[in-house]
Amino acid sequence: MSSPADDDGRHALSEVAPPPDTWEHLSLDDLRRYRRQLADEEEKVSYWRRLVHARIDVLEAESHQERPLTIKELVRVLGDTGTGRNRHALVSVRAADDLPELPALHDMWVTEVDSHDPEALGEAVRRLRSAEAQLTDYRKALHVRLDEATAQLIVRYRADPTSALVAFASPHSGATRGGAA
């Protein structure tokens, strides 16, 4: 899952699919499909961001222990966000799907970090925070595109309200994601 490094040493993420030159030439089904692809990509990126945050939390918690974390401590570390809100698992995870190109995360999961080596710990956390920043930037770009596509759907639904009824044609199960938005 490696990708070429940018000039600043960060790893490039796959490009967000650009919106069409003119929305008018895009069929309603194609617009819905485009929006669904963006939403699926955003879901994957959000999932990876949560994994990076969890890895940082575990590394920082281990740095204050003389031993590996117990299950009870691990549950506390991963469950508490520090904001008074608990983390919640994703409702739908499709592990068989390809993931977007990500910052060099693969080695972060297999590399053992000595939690009592401040330099090694600092470097690992720095790399994770850099990866998190890249994922956040990418996610923001996806949100801009999602907002554009949603605005176009609203324009079309206002012009032809019956075209919005496709959402009621078949229930959304999350397993198959066709053109419905």
Q: What is the pLDDT of residues 117-164, one digit of tens each?
A: 889 888 888 888 988 898 898 899 899 899 999 999 999 999 999 988
DSSP string, 7-50: TTSPBPPPPPPPPPS-GGGS-HHHHHHHHHHHHHHHHHHHHHHH
Contact by Cβ (8 Å): 17, 145:
yes
Contact by Cβ (8 Å): 54, 46:
no
pTM above 0.85, yes or no: no
Token pair for residue 124? 């690992």
pLDDT: which is higher, 146 or 105:
146
Q: What confidence category does residue 51 fall into, taking pLDDT thresholds of 50, 70 and 90?
A: confident
Q: What is the pLDDT of residues 64-102, one digit of tens each?
A: 887 778 888 888 888 855 555 555 544 444 444 454 555
Question: What residues contact 28, with CB distance under 8 A and at least 6 apart?
Answer: 156, 163
* CA–CA dist 126, 177 (Å, integer): 37
